[in-house]
Structure formats: C-alpha cells, structure tokens
Amino acid sequence: MNIKRLKGFRDILPSETPAWRLVEESASRVFGKYGYEELRLPLLEETPLFKRTIGEATDIVEKEMYTFTDAGDNMVTLRPEGTASTVRAYVENGFARSHPKERWFYMGPMFRRERPQKGRFRQFHQIGAECFGWAEPAADADVISMLWDFAVDLGISSRVSMEVNSLGCASDRSAYIEELRKYLESRSDSLCSNCKERTTRNPLRVLDCKSPHCQEATKDAPSLENYLCEDCAEHFTVVCGILSSEKVPFKVNNRMVRGLDYYNRTTFELLTNELGSQNAVAAGGRYDGLVELLGGPAVPALGFAMGVERLVLMVGEGAGIRSAPGAYFVYRTEEGQRRAFSLKRQLIGEGFKADMDYEERSFKAQMRAAGSSGAAFAVIFGESEIAEGKVTIKDMQKGEQVTLDDKEAKDVLIQRLRMESELGD
C-alpha cells in the first residue's frame, strides 16, 4: 500500500521554493528596515493558551484545532496562529516587565482542521509581525504602512487593497453586540445554520459570513462606528489621518471584524480579488489586553499575519521556476572530474550557482544535461583539455567557446557570470 500525505497537507517542491523564498526574503527585508527582529516559536503549545486568547466560542477553538493528550497527560495543541505564542514568549521570557517596547516577526507553519480549498490548507504558513509597548495611533499607522510597503516590495500593490476599521473598546463592543444580536434574531430565518448559532455565541462573526443570504440579511445591520466612545473614535480618526498624509491607500470598512476575540480598536486587512473566497492575504489589529490576559502587566500591542500560500499564488508560477546554474561542468576521466569539482567549488565560493553530474556518462550526455540545465556556460574538461592542462568555456546561448588555463578560466568565468547576473537583474 502506498502511503500518501494527509488531506489538506502538501509538499512544497523544489520548483516552488523560489517563490516562497521571494515572499520570505521580502518580508525579512521590509520588516527589518522598520526595526523588527525575527522570533522562532515552538509548534506545540499547551491548549489553554489558545482557548484563553483566541476565545472559547470561536470556530478555531471549537472546530479547527489539532488537540491531543501527550504521554505526560497534558493537553497540547499544534499552533493554529502565531500571535498567542508570540505574546506567551514575550511574557514568559520577561520582556513584558523588563523591556516592554519590542518589535518582532515570525515565520512558520500553522495548523487548522479546515475544509481545504484554493489558498487554504490544514497545514498552512504565516508570516507575522507584532509590535509591543505603544498605545498611540501612530503605532497603528506605522504597522499598516509597513504591511503596505511589503506589498510594494513584493510587487503586488497594484493587485491588493487595504481596508481598515475600529472595533472600539470592550464597553463599545458590549453595547453594539447587544443591538446587533437583536437585529440578527429578527432575521434568523434568513441566516445560515452557522450564523444562527453565532447569533448567540459570537454575533460579530455573522458580519463576516460569505453566504449571500447572510450578507443580504445583514446589509442594514447596525454599524459599530456609531457605538464608538469618544476616545476610540478619536484614535481611529488619527490613524486614518496619518495613513492619508503618508499616501498609504486604504478605505474604511465598518463591517470588517476579526475572527479572534482578542482584538480591539484598529483592525485591518490586505485584500485581493484574485483568490476567490480566500480574499484576505493579510489581516491584523490591536490587542491591548492580551499581554495582561497571559499574566503580564498591561502592555498595549498590535500586529498582523500574512498567508504565505496566498502570497505565493499571487507572486505566480514565474517566480517558481528553478534557477539555472551559471556554469555546468562537463568532464572526462577521474582527473577531469577532480579539476571540475575544484573549480566548481571555487565558483560557489564566489557566490555563483554551479552544477555537475557525478555519473560516468558520455561526453554527449553531459553536454545535453548542460543544455537542459539552462546554464549560461558549459565548463569543459575533455581529454584534450586534460592533456594540455586547459579548460574550455562554452557560451551555451551564442555557441562560442574559448580554451584557457585553469586560473585564467576562473577569472573569465567570474567576470562573465557577473555580467549575466547584472543583465538578469
């Protein structure tokens, strides 16, 4: 019996990893410029971490977490998202009290038992950024600006849009949820089965339902903006003002809510219309009470997470083409292999990609492999080159070739490979 991967899980093949690196390197580059440092987190956490932070009544906790009892009789969960783990690390390692102002980012796999579809898997990958210690609206605008600058750096800014909203404070939401629940109960017959249940347990999530019937039923629902207290309304006004002055494009969406209970005040999403129902490529917001909820002092915080699979889909297949070696080495005899191996390592040491075959194949077969590899140059140690202490460099596109001694060949190869690299850029 053949053993296959689990449903909702996937292999990221070598032809795909260049696109993944493109996304990851763009995030590292942009976030680093904003002063963020990388954090690496465990995959497994104690289950109460997520129940306490994400919320007992959320779909993630109720239906989607991979939770089990380990050999020590502890309830553990494969992390379904990264913010809770980041805050746990921030509190547990003493930063909340000794150095509360921190900017961190993380990358890695998350796990949710969702229905697999385009851009959504049961093991999926996120890149997240978390900013601790600033309550000021300028911090919100800075984080949103960083997300937009990432979209620009990755080359997708013309295909995405930024939406922002304010969820207000706990008292704002309490008053609003009471009115929203009354509204939803009066239209219960028009709601899907999930939203009928959410009306009682988590009515804000009804506004985020993708069902056309639910969207129609809630189009005249009360708006949260009318329930914001003076402080929360002013906070949001300042955030929007800074974004406008900095020419960060956005629009206010008063229906936008977040699926996790810990958010307050500013929330935001980076959206695309290219991925069907999975239109959010990044989402986040402020979570000022989460550090205290996990045993730390009251520290304001905010952040966001991006779906790497969705970003890779947007980057496109072109970025997933395997990068060709700059030079492919062809040889005859053991002496030719030794010299080819040595020169290949020298080129790699200079920062160039080089390749060779280790089987004792015919000269023609090796030249065919050089052509198939897409290499710019074939570096040939044939029988005549070995006898004369020379090496031949063949331009695979032009068909031109030159025979030189080893030292001169290395210098010429480096020069030509640099020229190829500059033309490629």
Q: Is the pLDDT of residue 420 over 80?
A: no
Query: Both 148 and 282 in a single domain?
Result: yes
pLDDT of residue 182: 85
User: For the domain that residue 94 is a member of, what is the CATH number?
Assistant: 3.30.930.10
CB 353 within 8 A of CB 323: yes
Residue 218 has a CB neighbour count (10 Å cut-off) of 23
The mean-pLDDT minimum among 66-80, 90-104, 137-151 falls in: 66-80
Query: What is the bridge-based pairing of β-strands 75-78 and 44-46?
Result: antiparallel
Rounded Cα distance, 377 and 395, in Å: 5
Q: How confident is the model at residue 378 (pLDDT cuts 50, 70, 90)?
A: very high
pLDDT of residue 260: 62
Amino acid (1-letter code) at residue 127: I
pLDDT of residue 89: 96
Query: Both 295 and 361 in a single domain?
Result: no
pLDDT of residue 132: 97
- Domain membership of residue 47 (yes or no) is yes
Query: Both 283 and 151 in a single domain?
Result: yes
Query: Both 156 and 281 in a single domain?
Result: yes
Rounded Cα distance, 339 and 323, in Å: 24
74-77: long-range contacts, CB 8 A cutoff, minimum separation 24: 74/46, 75/46, 75/47, 75/48, 76/44, 76/45, 76/46, 76/47, 77/44, 77/45, 77/46, 77/47, 77/49, 77/50
CA 417 → CA 52, 367, 401, 424, distances in Å? 55, 19, 15, 10
Averaged pLDDT score across all residues of the chain: 89
- Domain membership of residue 78 (yes or no) is yes
Kindly give, in sequence order, each residue whose CB lies less than 8 Å from that of residue 34, ignoring residues fewer than 6 positions away.
Answer: 103, 142, 146, 149
Of 283, 318, 353, the position where a domain reaches its end is 318
Q: Is the pLDDT of residue 425 over 80?
A: no
Tokens of 306: 């991006």
**For tokens 């490529």, what's the residue?**
281
Of 254, 284, 318, the position where a domain reaches its end is 318
Q: How confident is the model at residue 323 (pLDDT cuts 50, 70, 90)?
A: low
Strand pairing partners for 392? 380, 403
Q: Is the pLDDT of residue 136 over 70?
A: yes
Query: Both 56 and 156 in a single domain?
Result: yes
- Quote the distance between the C-alpha of residue 316 and its chain's center: 15
CA 104 → CA 135, 161, 293, 303, 305, distances in Å? 16, 24, 19, 9, 12
Packing angle, helices 230-245 and 137-154, rounded to 10: 40
Query: Both 28 and 130 in a single domain?
Result: yes
Of 317, 291, 310, the closest CA to residue 302 belongs to 291
CA angle (389 as vertex; 384, 392 as ends), nearest 5: 60
Q: Is the pLDDT of residue 391 over 70?
A: yes
Residue ranges making up the domain that contains 368: 323-424
Query: Both 314 and 331 in a single domain?
Result: no
pTM: 0.81
Query: Both 335 and 314 in a single domain?
Result: no
- Domain membership of residue 69 (yes or no) is yes
Q: How confident is the model at residue 237 (pLDDT cuts 50, 70, 90)?
A: very high
Of 288, 318, 348, the position where a domain reaches its end is 318
Kindly give, in sequence order, each residue whose CB lies less than 8 Å from that of residue 143, ignoring residues fewer than 6 positions away.
Answer: 129, 131, 284, 302, 303, 304
3-state secondary structure of 111: strand
pLDDT of residue 229: 92
pLDDT of residue 252: 94
- Domain membership of residue 180 (yes or no) is no
User: For the domain that residue 346 is a member of, what is the CATH number?
Assistant: 3.40.50.800
- Count of the separate structural domains present in the chain: 2
The mean-pLDDT minimum among 54-58, 227-231, 334-338 falls in: 54-58
Tokens of 420: 């190829």
Query: Both 416 and 309 in a single domain?
Result: no
Q: Is the pLDDT of residue 209 over 90?
A: no
Query: Both 390 and 404 in a single domain?
Result: yes
- Higher-confidence residue of 83 and 209: namely 83
- Domain membership of residue 207 (yes or no) is no
pLDDT of residue 350: 87
- Domain membership of residue 183 (yes or no) is no
- Domain membership of residue 7 (yes or no) is no
Rounded Cα distance, 354 and 345, in Å: 8
pLDDT of residue 259: 58
Of 267, 314, 311, 237, the closest CA to residue 83 belongs to 267
- Higher-confidence residue of 247 and 262: namely 247
> Edge-to-edge strands of the sheet including 44-46?
44-46, 75-78, 67-69
CB 42 within 8 A of CB 84: no
Q: How confident is the model at residue 205 (pLDDT cuts 50, 70, 90)?
A: confident
Average pLDDT over residues 176-197: 83
Query: Both 301 and 393 in a single domain?
Result: no
- Domain membership of residue 190 (yes or no) is no
Query: Both 368 and 395 in a single domain?
Result: yes
Query: What is the bridge-based pairing of β-strands 67-69 and 161-166?
Result: unpaired
Rounded Cα distance, 115 and 397, in Å: 47
